[in-house]
């Protein structure tokens, strides 16, 4: 398969790449580095990415910014980042990709653990994660041409420990290999409309 991997340079993106690149052609996409440069915050940048790549069989998104802060310090602007970038950015990858993706292709998005196991300062992330779960639940029954859609919801990756570990007291860390296999389950399997928990 020819797979577009958005957010390829992040910890989750690298985990997906390590597993999927064993068997598939991967087009790495990032804001600053990659085979193709694109920013999912901008619908036109997404369209240009698809124009540049041409035909493809699957989209894997491991992209999406969100602002971490205590709830009482979240402003409308800071809170909206997660809705605009992590949610609407990934939704736009799907909306713009629908008319272009091959028959029987798949979209696999990334959310995270915080809507089922919250942490302090994680409310905007929990909101974005919940939105993505709702999105794939709704979108899966509207897919055409054998298309599928899922979202991978990983716990904190071992690879992310140094940067984020202190904010996740007591959370089990998950191996990058397990996260990579979750993306393979979505892309190579047959399930749709699922939140694939890795926790």
Binding positions for a second copy, rule: CB under 8 A? 43, 70-72, 74-76, 79-80, 83, 87-88, 91-92, 95, 98-99, 114-116, 118-135, 137-144, 193
CB of 122 to a second copy, least distance (A): 5
Task: Identify each DSSP E strand in 93-183 by its residue range.
Answer: 106-110, 148-154
CB-based burial of residue 71 (10 Å sphere; 0-12 exposed, 13-18 middle, 19+ buried)? exposed
Could you give the C-alpha distances from 126 to 66, 88, 114, 142, 147, in angstroms and in order? 10, 15, 5, 25, 27
- CB nearer a second copy, residue 103 or residue 162: 103
CB of 145 to a second copy, least distance (A): 11
Q: Which two tokens stand for residue 175?
A: 């191996």
Contact 121, 68 (CB under 8 A): yes
- CB nearer a second copy, residue 91 or residue 184: 91
CB of 76 to a second copy, least distance (A): 5
CB-based burial of residue 80 (10 Å sphere; 0-12 exposed, 13-18 middle, 19+ buried)? middle
CB of 18 to a second copy, least distance (A): 28
- CB nearer a second copy, residue 12 or residue 147: 147
- CB nearer a second copy, residue 9 or residue 116: 116
């Amino acid at each position: 398969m020819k797979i577009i991997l958005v957010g390829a340079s992040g910890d989750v993106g690298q985990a997906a790449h390590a597993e999927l690149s064993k068997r598939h052609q991967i087009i790495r996409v990032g804001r600053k580095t990659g085979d193709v440069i694109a920013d999912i915050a901008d619908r036109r940048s997404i369209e240009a990415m698809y124009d540049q790549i041409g035909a493809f069989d699957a989209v894997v998104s491991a992209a999406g910014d969100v602002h971490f802060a205590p709830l009482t310090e979240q402003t409308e602007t800071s809170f909206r980042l997660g809705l605009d970038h992590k949610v609407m950015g990934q939704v736009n990858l799907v909306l713009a990709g629908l008319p272009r993706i091959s028959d029987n292709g798949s979209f696999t998005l990334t959310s995270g653990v915080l809507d089922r196991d919250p942490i302090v300062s994680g409310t905007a992330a929990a909101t974005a994660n919940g939105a993505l779960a709702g999105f794939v639940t709704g979108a899966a029954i509207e897919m055409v041409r054998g298309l599928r859609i899922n979202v991978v919801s990983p716990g904190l990756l071992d690879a992310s420990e140094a940067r984020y570990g202190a904010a996740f007291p007591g959370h089990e860390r998950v191996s990058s290999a397990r996260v990579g296999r979750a993306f393979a389950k979505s892309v190579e399997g047959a399930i749709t409309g699922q939140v694939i928990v890795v926790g």
